Amino acid sequence: MLRIAAILTTCVAAVVALTLPPYVLPCSKSDPNLNACARKHGRDAIPRLVKGDNKYRIPVLEPLTIPRIKVEGGARHVGSSLTFTDMKFNGLSQADLQDVRIDMEKMRIDWVMQVPRIVILCQYAVKGRVLILPIIGSGPANITLTNVSLVYSYDYKLENRTDGETYFELTDSRLKFDTQRAYIRLDNLFNGDRFLGNSMNRFLDDHWQDIVKEVGPYIADGIGQAIKQIISNIAKLVPYKYIFTE
């Protein structure tokens, strides 16, 4: 399993039961169109959610900041030491929630989203090889992804707490990630040699699919951690009965 060195911290504090924030509307468990209800309310909430909310420990998502991602060495197409730092993900505010699938019996929920464009601005450091070519450098990077498909799935359980309320808790989560196209630009390759740097960037552009196979799961994990943080923090603070009403 690919591992990510991304740090997304949350505050540890005494939990006081809250109702849902006013921009997130609940759905009834008995609604025959429960999935459609969740999709509509989720769509309506995204523009406000991405701004963050300290009361519910929701981080700012526009841009989403990830301090560090390290691509582990020995990957098939990127056999190198590759680290991204100070990553800023721009474009998540434009996410379109296309479908929600809720299975109350299995306690599983799937969120299906499409994002027209995600622009990642960051610093990089690389040394090793990409496919058959050697590569070395450090400096600014731009990774632009277009028509990004995201499917965030999670399992949950219900937990009775000492305050007498029932909460839901994520037990497992995963994010499937796909992009129609990726554009990668690394500045200051080969100690600033323009000819070698431009040649390598053209090579990366020509072989973007191979690069995404290696780097994409780490990017997806970073986005998935942010989504998990939102859902988990709301779930810790808001009793289940306020999220799915009778």
Q: Which pLDDT score is estimated for 72?
A: 75
Q: Which pLDDT score is estimated for 179?
A: 97
Q: How many whole angstroms separate alpha carbon 69 and alpha carbon 53?
A: 25
CB atoms within 10 A of CB 104: 10
State the DSSP string of 9-22: ----------PPPT
pLDDT in tens, 28-38: 999 999 999 99
75 pLDDT tier (thresholds 50, 70, 90) = low
For residue 170, what are the contacts with CB-CB under 8 A and spacing of at least 6?
A: 154, 155, 156, 228, 231, 232, 235
What are the distances in angstroms from CA 61 to CA 134, 194, 207, 243?
35, 34, 29, 22
Residue 19 within a domain: no
pTM score of the predicted model: 0.87
Residue 147 within a domain: yes
Checking if the pLDDT of 197 tops 80, the result is: yes
Q: Which pLDDT score is estimated for 54?
A: 95
Q: Note down the domain range covering 160.
A: 27-245
Q: What CATH number is attached to the domain comprising 210?
A: 3.15.10.30
Checking if the pLDDT of 6 tops 60, the result is: no
Residue 18 within a domain: no
Q: How many whole angstroms separate alpha carbon 156 and alpha carbon 30?
A: 19
What are the distances in angstroms from CA 76 to CA 130, 136, 145?
9, 18, 21
Across 137-146, average pLDDT: 98
Q: Which pLDDT score is estimated for 8?
A: 45
- State the DSSP code for 42: H
Can you name the residues that pair with 168 across neighbouring β-strands? 158
Q: How many whole angstroms separate alpha carbon 59 and alpha carbon 222?
A: 13
Mean pLDDT of the chain: 91
Q: Which pLDDT score is estimated for 32?
A: 96
Residue 227 within a domain: yes
Residue 1 within a domain: no
Residue 123 within a domain: yes
Q: Specify the number of domains making up the chain.
A: 1
